[in-house]
Amino acid sequence: MTSTHETLEDLGWKDWFSDQISGEEARFCHPVRVMAVHRGQIAVAGAGSRGSIASHIPGAGPADDHPTVGDWLLIDGRTSQPSRVLQRLNLFKRRAPGDRRKEQMIAANVDTVFITASCNQDFSVARLERYLVMAREVGVRPVVVLTKIDLTDTPEAFATAVRAIEPGLLVETVNGRDPASVARLACWCGKGETVALLGSSGVGKSTLVNTLRGSDSIATQEIRAGDDTGRHTTTAREMHRLRDGGWLLDTPGMRELQLSEAATGIDEVFDDFVLVAQDCRFSNCAHGTEPGCAIRAAIATGALTVVRFDRWRLLAAEESANDAQLMKRRPR
Ligand SMILES: Nc1nc2c(ncn2[C@@H]2O[C@H](COP(=O)(O)OP(=O)(O)OP(=O)(O)O)[C@@H](O)[C@H]2O)c(=O)[nH]1
Ligand SMILES: [Mg+2]
Ligand SMILES: [Zn+2]
C-alpha cells in the first residue's frame, strides 16, 4: 500500500454507496475503488492509500458479484481481504465473445460514456447505435466522440449521420492528438466523475486519455496501413486520473458487441418505432404482412425509414436470442 492524498469523494464516492453500509460493517470495513483488473489481482484506491489485492472474495460463489473496474469494494480491516462488492449504480456488460452463454463485465459506476469512433471508412452508424443502446439500457449519459477529423474534409457529414440516430444526441468531433481540440470534452470529466471510453480498436481511445491528461504514459499504436483496423493496443481496463480530478476509464477495443438484456435500451433508441407500433392492429404484430400494420404504413409514407427498421429488427432478434442463451445457463 502506498499513501495518497485522495479522498473517497475524489474517487467518485456517492451517498448511494454509503447508504449500503450497515453500522456493524462500518466498524470493521472500509471502501476502496477498483482502478484496474489484472489476472487474479486488482489495483484499488481508498481514502489516502492505493495498493493491489487478490480479486477473489473469500466465500463468494459463482452467482455472486465479481469485482470489475469502477466497482466499490468493502475491505475487512481485520483480514485485509475484500468482503463484498457494493451494489452498482450501473454496469456495462456484453455477451462474452466466444461463449454465447456468458457475459463479460466492462465497467461499473460510470457517469458518462464516450462512445468513440473515427471519421474514416471504418465508421458505422449501426455500430454506434449498438453502443447507444447499451448506454440507454444502463442509464448512463452518452457522448459520441468522433476522432481523426484531421484526416477528413467532411467531419460534419459524419456528425450529421450520428445526430440522425437520436434527436438531441451529444456529438463532439475532435482531433484526439490536439489538446485544444479535446479541451471541450473536459466538461464531462469534473472532479470525482467517471467517464468510460468505449469503441473499436484503433479509434483513438487511449490517445484521448493521453491528450486530456497532458501526458503520453499510455501506449497507443499506429493502425495498420490499408485497412485502418486497430491492433488491440490496450489490453486492460484501467482508470486514469485527470488533473482536474475526473477519471477516464480506458478499455480495450471491442471487435464484436453483442447485446444481451438490452430490450429497454433498444426501445429507447428506437422509441419512434415503438410509438408507431402501438397503432398496429395486432399487439403481437411482426410488421411483416399482417393487415393493419402501422409500421409498414409509416415506412410507405416515409415517416419511418426502412434502413432503421431493418436495424431495429436485427438488434431486437439478436438481443432476444442472446437472452434465451443466458437463461439456459442461469439456475432458476
Ligand atoms: N490523425 C489522427 N490520429 C489519431 C487520432 N486519434 C488517434 N490517432 C492515432 O490512431 C492510432 C490508434 O490510437 P489508440 O489511441 O491507440 O487507439 P485505441 O482506441 O486506444 O485502440 P485500442 O487500445 O486497440 O482499443 C494511434 O496511432 C494514434 O496516434 C486523431 O484524432 N487524428
Ligand atoms: Mg487503447
Ligand atoms: Zn406492425
Tens digit of pLDDT for each residue in 113-139? 999 999 998 899 999 999 999 999 999
Q: Average pLDDT in the 138-146 region?
A: 97
pTM of the entire predicted model:
0.92
Half-sphere exposure of 328 (CA within 13 A, CB side): 10
Find all residues with CB under 8 Å of 1, minimum gap 6, and list them: 49, 50, 51
Average pLDDT, the chain: 91
Nearest Cα to 246, choosing from 298, 306, 186? 186
pLDDT tens digits, one per residue of 60-98: 877 777 899 999 999 999 998 999 999 999 999 988 777
Residue 112 host element (H or E): strand 112-118
Judge if the beta carbon of residue 206 lies within 6 A of ligand 1. Answer: yes
95 in Cβ contact with 261 (< 8 Å): no
pLDDT band at 6 (very low <50, low <70, confident <90, very high): very high
Task: Give alpha helix (H) positions in 139-243.
Answer: 155-163, 179-182, 205-213
Residue identifier of the C-alpha nearest atom 30 of ligand 1:
148
Judge if the beta carbon of residue 120 lies within 6 A of ligand 1. Answer: no
Judge if the beta carbon of residue 176 lies within 6 A of ligand 1. Answer: yes
Distance 271 CA to ligand 3 centre (A): 14
Q: What is the dihedral of CA 270, 275, 281, 282, to 10 degrees?
A: 50
Judge if the beta carbon of residue 70 lies within 6 A of ligand 1. Answer: no
Q: Does residue 182 have a pLDDT over 60?
A: yes
Query: Higher model confidence: residue 133 or residue 58?
Result: 133
Judge if the beta carbon of residue 67 lies within 6 A of ligand 1. Answer: no
DSSP character string of 235-258: -S-EEEE-TTS-EEEE----S---
Residue identifier of the C-alpha nearest atom 10 of ligand 1:
204
Q: Does residue 235 have a pLDDT over 70?
A: yes
Judge if the beta carbon of residue 151 lies within 6 A of ligand 1. Answer: yes
Q: Average pLDDT in the 176-199 region?
A: 96
Q: For residue 258, what is its C-alpha cell?
A: 453483442
- Residue 193 pLDDT: 97
- Residue 226 pLDDT: 47
Nearest Cα to 105, choosing from 42, 11, 152? 42
Distance 47 CA to ligand 2 centre (A): 28
Distance 119 CA to ligand 1 centre (A): 12
Q: For residue 103, what is its C-alpha cell?
A: 457475459
Judge if the beta carbon of residue 233 lies within 6 A of ligand 1. Answer: yes
Find all residues with CB under 8 Å of 263, minimum gap 6, and list them: 316, 319, 320, 323
pLDDT tens digits, one per residue of 281-296: 999 999 999 999 999 9
Distance 240 CA to ligand 2 centre (A): 12
